[in-house]
Amino acid sequence: MQITRRNILGGAVAAGASLAAPALVHAKAGAAHVVVVGGGFGGATAARYLRLHAPQLRVTLVEPSRTFYTCPFSNLYLAGLRSWDSIGHGYDGLRAAGVEVVHARADEVDAAARSVKLSSGQVLHWDRLVLSPGVDMRWGALQGYDEAAADKAPHAWKAGTQTLLLRSQLEAMKDGGLLVMAIPDNPFRCPPGPYERAAMVAHYFKQHKPRSKILLLDAKDSFSKQALFQQGWKAMYGDMIEWVKQSDDGQVLRVDAGSLEVETAFGTRHKADVLNVIPPQKAGFIAERAGVTNASGWVPIQAESFESSQVAGVYVLGDATIAAPMPKSGFAANTQGKVAAAAIAADLLGQERPEASYANTCYSLIGPGYGISVAGVYRARDGKLIEAPDSGGVSPLDGDARFRAAEALYGEAWYAAISADMFGAPRR
Ligand SMILES: Cc1cc2nc3c(=O)[nH]c(=O)nc-3n(C[C@H](O)[C@H](O)[C@H](O)COP(=O)(O)OP(=O)(O)OC[C@H]3O[C@@H](n4cnc5c(N)ncnc54)[C@H](O)[C@@H]3O)c2cc1C
């Protein structure tokens, strides 16, 4: 049996030095304790699957919000195609699965002492720590765009008050107005998300403000599912959406939230009626406090388990990680949560870890009954994540109306299924 895979649940502690040793000492008295920080796609999944794999484990989930609003389908809310309530999820399903849910923020991690300090002052000790804190905005990366500016020019890149603000601004906008979106370079949360948002706002405009326009200013020259998006935009919204790539002067460098103006790299100024600025991002702050980020601001991980490459016993999931070629998506975070949960449970139970396999599908809605998707399967090879040969792909460009309608339905089914998978209760 390997040193790091000893059975600590029964208190059996083998001799020998190991990075996991402090946890073993602590865990001797009872069941091992896994603390999960962040109750979103990665964290909620990991917490639930840890209990499924090993009901004898004590699992505590730390999450400030009592209701988690998903970014997936928040663009449909902007379109008026989903209610706000329908994308909110409570934590009772996780409690029913035996997860202890603590509504607080994790403020400090002491990896040597294996403890995490919460905003409530409570200190939790762990044998394994899972972090899935999502992203934080890099305030100031675009000159003039800070937290105060986001109150006027929302990013709406975390679902919550920002999304509600953007929707209310779109509602208040006059017909014939201009929505300007500033879109960051890779890597960022949800590569197809800005382009689905453009389509969903276009759907809303088409219904309520048909003379309005959408200008996408992009800090890159190509994007996820590009040909499919551009085909769908044209088919459903004519010339309502204009995309400007980086090399055609699309990159926004400065934001004046007071006057709702942006300035590009070539010095062009654009004035908006509604300004949606999606700034560059980094791993949620607790990752840095735990010492798991590198100079990029993101978290290097071991491809086999999503254990940090830098701090033993700390697992990091989802958007916070450097997991390319996997995208920063909810589905990706969900499968990473399952793999990490299986690896942690195996280690703590003294069993062999199952082989890691990851998947992703991102559905995007262009309009009612018009869906497109990208899918991939990933494996760990020689310490790296690779795309499984001959797996995945995008929807065919020549798909007919029935195909697009089927993909829109699959997207709805995906949302119901992953909601149940994470929170133990489906949402339709
Ligand atoms: C507009 C939009 C549309 C999207 N659509 C899709 C889609 O259709 N399909 C898809 O797969 N993905 C989609 N995504 C991407 C998806 O939302 C993210 O990839 C996913 O949420 C990442 O999961 P995560 O666990 O890393 O972070 P999150 O799901 O954001 O969870 C992080 C959680 O951690 C909590 N947290 C943060 N810091 C702390 C702390 N210090 N202490 C305690 N808790 C903390 C936060 O409150 C939050 O609840 C979309 C994203 C956007 C913005």
Work out whether the CA dihedral 414, 416, 419, 424 comes out positive or negative. negative
Q: Give percent of the chain with pLDDT exceeding 70.
A: 92
Q: Which atom of ligand 1 approaches the CA of 194 most closely?
A: 1
Assess whether the C-beta atom of 134 lies below 6 angstroms from ligand 1: yes
The rounded Å distance from CA 48 to ligand 1 centre is 17
Q: Residues 232, 170: one domain?
A: yes
Average pLDDT, rounded, for the chain? 93
Residue 210 sits in a domain of what CATH number? Answer: 3.50.50.60
Q: Residues 266, 288: one domain?
A: no
What is the DSSP code (8-state) at residue 38?
A: -
Residue range 336-389, pLDDT digits in tens: 999 999 999 999 999 999 999 999 999 999 999 999 999 999 999 999 999 999
Q: Residues 317, 419: one domain?
A: yes
Assess whether the C-beta atom of 76 lies below 6 angstroms from ligand 1: no
Assess whether the C-beta atom of 187 lies below 6 angstroms from ligand 1: no
Residue 293 half-sphere exposure, CB side, CA atoms within 13 Å? Answer: 21
pTM of the model: 0.94
Q: What is the pLDDT of residue 31?
A: 86
Assess whether the C-beta atom of 179 lies below 6 angstroms from ligand 1: no
Q: Of 277, 302, 323, which residue is a domain's last?
A: 277
Q: How far is CA 308 from CA 53, 189, 311, in A?
A: 21, 20, 5
Q: Residues 208, 314: one domain?
A: no
Closest CA to 33 of 128, 133, 160: 128
Q: What is the pLDDT of residue 316?
A: 99
Asked if residue 428 belongs to a domain, the reply is no
Tokens 């995208």 found at: 327
**Residue closest by Cα to atom 35 of ligand 1:** 38
The rounded Å distance from CA 341 to ligand 1 centre is 18
pLDDT confidence band for 14 (50 / 70 / 90): very low
Asked if residue 250 belongs to a domain, the reply is yes
Range of the domain at 248: 141-277
Q: Residues 123, 170: one domain?
A: no
Closest CA to 206 of 235, 230, 165: 235
Q: Residues 236, 333: one domain?
A: no
Q: Residues 300, 232: one domain?
A: no
Q: What is the pLDDT of residue 21?
A: 35
The rounded Å distance from CA 178 to ligand 1 centre is 28
| DSSP letters for 225-291 | THHHHHHHHHHHHTTSEEEE-GGGTT-EEEEETTTTEEEETT--EEE-SEEEE---EEE-HHHHHTT
Assess whether the C-beta atom of 333 lies below 6 angstroms from ligand 1: yes
Which of 37, 41, 281, 358 for mutating ligand 1's site (highest number of atoms within 8 Å of CB)?
41
Q: Tokens for 358, please give them.
A: 């990851």
SS3 content of the chain, % helix, strand, coil (to 5): 30, 25, 45
Q: Which atom of ligand 1 approaches the CA of 364 most closely?
A: 8
Asked if residue 58 belongs to a domain, the reply is yes
Range 48-75 average pLDDT: 97
Flag whether pLDDT at 98 surpasses 50.
yes
The rounded Å distance from CA 69 to ligand 1 centre is 9
Q: Residues 348, 389: one domain?
A: yes
Q: Residues 268, 152: one domain?
A: yes
Q: What are phi and psi of 327, to 5 degrees?
A: -80, 165
Assess whether the C-beta atom of 330 lies below 6 angstroms from ligand 1: yes
- How far is the C-alpha of 227 from the C-alpha of 224, rounded, in Å? 9
Q: Which atom of ligand 1 approaches the CA of 158 most closely?
A: 53
Partners of 65 in beta bridges: none
Q: Give the angle 22-28-34 at the CA atoms, nearest 5°.
A: 65
Q: What is the three-class DSSP state of 135?
A: strand
Flag whether pLDDT at 100 surpasses 50.
yes
Asked if residue 193 belongs to a domain, the reply is yes
Residue range 258-307, pLDDT digits in tens: 999 999 999 999 999 999 999 999 999 999 999 999 999 999 999 999 99
Residue 299 half-sphere exposure, CB side, CA atoms within 13 Å? Answer: 34
Which of 48, 190, 331 for mutating ligand 1's site (highest number of atoms within 8 Å of CB)?
190
Cis peptide before 325 (omega within 30 of 0): yes
The rounded Å distance from CA 311 to ligand 1 centre is 23
- How far is the C-alpha of 282 from the C-alpha of 188, rounded, in Å? 8
Q: Which atom of ligand 1 approaches the CA of 361 most closely?
A: 11
The rounded Å distance from CA 231 to ligand 1 centre is 28
pLDDT confidence band for 312 (50 / 70 / 90): very high
Asked if residue 343 belongs to a domain, the reply is yes
Closest CA to 80 of 181, 208, 195: 208
Closest CA to 315 of 350, 353, 362: 353
Q: Residues 96, 148: one domain?
A: no
Flag whether pLDDT at 8 surpasses 60.
no
Q: Tokens for 341, please give them.
A: 């949960």
Q: What is the pLDDT of residue 4?
A: 35
Q: Of 234, 249, 277, which residue is a domain's last?
A: 277
Which ranges constitute the DSSP H helices of 307-354?
330-349
The rounded Å distance from CA 70 to ligand 1 centre is 7
Residue range 112-161, pLDDT digits in tens: 999 999 999 999 999 999 999 999 999 999 999 999 999 999 999 999 99
Q: How far is CA 328 from CA 62, 106, 134, 301, 323, in A?
A: 21, 22, 9, 14, 8
The rounded Å distance from CA 319 to ligand 1 centre is 7
Q: What is the pLDDT of residue 426?
A: 57
The rounded Å distance from CA 42 to ligand 1 centre is 8
Assess whether the C-beta atom of 72 lies below 6 angstroms from ligand 1: yes
Asked if residue 227 belongs to a domain, the reply is yes
Cα-atom radius of gyration of the chain, to the nearest Å?
22
Domains in the chain, number: 2
Q: Which atom of ligand 1 approaches the CA of 327 most closely?
A: 19
Report CA dihedral (309, 315, 319, 324) to the nearest 10 degrees: 40
The rounded Å distance from CA 189 to ligand 1 centre is 8
Q: Residues 299, 419: one domain?
A: yes
Asked if residue 124 belongs to a domain, the reply is yes
Assess whether the C-beta atom of 306 lies below 6 angstroms from ligand 1: no
Assess whether the C-beta atom of 157 lies below 6 angstroms from ligand 1: yes
Q: Of 230, 247, 277, which residue is a domain's last?
A: 277
pLDDT confidence band for 319 (50 / 70 / 90): very high
Q: Residues 125, 210: one domain?
A: no
Closest CA to 243 of 202, 204, 208: 202
What is the DSSP code (8-state) at residue 122?
A: -
Packed helices 41-53 and 330-349: angle between N→C axes, nearest 10 degrees: 30
